A and B are shown apart, each in its own frame.
Chain A
Amino acid sequence: MSTPESGTEEDAFAVNDPSIRRMRRYGRIFLGLCMVAALVGIVALIALLYDVVSEAWGWVTWEFITHPPSMIVDHYNPSNYGDLPTGPGGIYPALVGSIYLIVFTAIFTLVLGVGAAIYLEEYAGDNRLTQLIEANIANLAGVPSIVYGLLGLALFVRAIGAGSSLIAGALTLTLLILPIVIVQTQEALRAVPDSMRQASYGAGATKWQTIRSVVLPEAIPGIMTGIILSLSRAIGETAPIIMVGAATSMFGPPNLTDPTGSFAAMPMQIFEWAKAPEAEFQHVAAAGIVVLLTVLLLMNAVAIYIRNKYDRRG
């Protein structure tokens, strides 16, 4: 088809045009490569889940979920439950500690993250300072979590004197996910059509009324999804928790009346089990991972549910 004389009218729609066939072949190769790329992630995830679940099979019991940990690996084995004077070993304090940690982190994140995003998106003018703040937030999202752990240790544990406490841990995790939450909340606010804001101003609303009655209700599904997904990242973070000094093994859940008391969290507990010398502790660690993953998947399910429930436009 490169020269005008090369085709007569009859060839114009020929079914076997070689150049079209060649392009189709390239298209199929490209499709194949894209499918392989998509499968790598899924296969890796399934392999990981299979490995963990098969290791943990038979070790995740109700007793495991409801009892404090033990130094002796036999205490975790369900076949020994019958003859244990001290009761079975489990993950209970760390599970409750992680849940408290996430609840506090959620409260701090909601206030600070949504507040900052509303300021940046709705109030701040488009000036150098705002651009500087936004560029910094984007960069902070990429800072390794251990660095936040060091900051938490210096600032919350030492300077403020919160000690290796739940509050210090939650504040550190809040710093860690705050940049992501701010960016996602900003995107949710930006997705509210300007025509909604105009309609509100046109009806004689003030800026605050517009944000409260129109913008926030529209943006809440996006904001909640962003926060919950960030929290499910936070619940699995180990490095900041180590730096802040979470207890390796606690025998009871954290005491909420003592704000500077120590706490245990699941990633830390799993890490302790995984580095224990006895081979059977690998099963205990896997059981802990299954509990952690279950909590995480439940949180993601809540996020998806909220998104679907409030997303009226489908």
Chain B
Amino acid sequence: MTANGPQTVASSESSGSATDAAMTDDAPLGSPRVDDAVIESRDLDVYYGDDQALHGINMDIPERKVTALIGPSGCGKSTFLRSINRMNDLIDIARVDGDLYFHGKDVYDDDVDPVALRRKIGMVFQKPNPFPKSIFDNVAYGLRVQGKDDGDVEKKVRTALERAALLDEVEDQLDSSGLDLSGGQQQRLCIARAIAPDPEVILMDEPASALDPVATSKIEDLVEELAEEYTVVIVTHNMQQAARISDKTAVFLTGGHLVEFDDTGKIFENPESDRVEDYITGKFG
């Protein structure tokens, strides 16, 4: 680093700030900066033991938009998603370097409580994972653990179910088990559970990959609606899905590198990277 010291100085002068300089070191193609960013990832590395799962991820996630993370299996897109709300903390061997800002605050600072962070950033998982409790208790779970159950819980639960486009189907059976629902209904129940405490961001880890086409299209419609109120980050390995529902698309390719980040239209019509083009057009992955 000392050998190219002058260069570093030059680049930081030209771009104006230290974070910009850091960004140019490992920037993906496309336009990784956005104006209304809620989440900013800067040189984010994630390791599982000795294996590096993510290499210097630099990208912004815009507010109240759908940002899709796509790429082949094992490319690190889920790892990146889980580093946003620090779910990787739950894995003993996971280690994170670099910075991830949420509203300008590095979530990996010592004074950030991951539980408080997860109350702002809800999550929906790949496999529907309702609790073996009633539909009502499933949706109320987040409210209860977050101490937001003082007001009208019933109203909050119904609102969440309505936003998750599930209320009409389960209105008469709120006391029956969440496990009795179909797979697609269970996943919408999990979405209702995630939005009931009213987070700012919703992370979705391949939320439709275990569902049939009809259930999938319901989830897709829902994601687009949710983006009117929430910032949505969705991992998918279904490129058509990303093209249909997202505003921004980040393409991760094998080895944990973010190759290109841009408006979804640009990524699918005219990507800068040849590898991204090959991936999009199905030549590999």
Contact = CB atoms under 8 A, between A and B. Distances in A.
Interface of A: 125-126, 193, 195-206, 209, 213-214, 217-218, 312-313
11 contacts: A198-B90, A199-B125, A201-B118, A202-B85, A203-B118, A204-B116, A204-B119, A213-B145, A218-B132, A312-B132, A312-B179
Given A125-B92, A195-B129, A202 B141 contact: no
A204 B145 contact: yes
Contacts of B177: 312
Contact of A204 (B90, B130, B132, B142): B142
Contact of A195 (B115, B119, B125): B125
Nearest to A126: B92
B155 to A, nearest CB: 19
Given A204-B118, A209-B145, A213-B145, A196 B131 contact: yes
B132 A205 contact: no
Contact of A196 (B87, B129, B144, B145): B129
B129 A203 contact: no
A200 B190 contact: no
B123 A202 contact: yes
B197 interface: yes
Contacts of A125: 92
Interface in B132-186: 132, 141-142, 144-146, 177, 179
B218 interface: no
Given A195-B129, A206-B145, 14 more contacts: A125-B92, A126-B92, A198-B125, A198-B129, A199-B125, A199-B129, A199-B131, A199-B190, A202-B123, A202-B125, A203-B197, A204-B142, A204-B145, A205-B141
Q: How large is the interface on B (under 10, 10 to 19, 20 to 34, 35 or more residues)?
A: 20 to 34
Interface of B: 85, 87, 90, 92, 115-116, 118-119, 122-125, 127, 129-132, 141-142, 144-146, 177, 179, 190, 193-194, 197
Nearest to B143: A203
A202 B145 contact: no
A109 B192 CA distance: 40
A129 B205 CA distance: 36
B87 A203 contact: no
Nearest to A218: B132
A197 B141 CA distance: 13
Contacts of B130: 199
A198 B89 CA distance: 11
B86 to A, nearest CB: 9
Nearest to B118: A204
Nearest to B115: A206
Contacts of A209: 145
A206 to B, nearest CB: 5
A203 B189 CA distance: 13
A197 to B, nearest CB: 8
A196 B179 CA distance: 12
Contact of A201 (B90, B116, B193): B90
Residue picked from A197, A203, A204, A313, most chain B C-beta under 10 Å: A204
A203 B131 CA distance: 12
B267 to A, nearest CB: 28
A29 B135 CA distance: 52
Contacts of B115: 201, 204-206
A201 B87 contact: yes
Contacts of B127: 195
A128 to B, nearest CB: 14
A193 B127 CA distance: 12
A202 B92 contact: no
Contact of B146 (A197, A204, A312): A204
Given A198-B129, A312-B179, A203 B194 contact: yes
Nearest to A212: B145
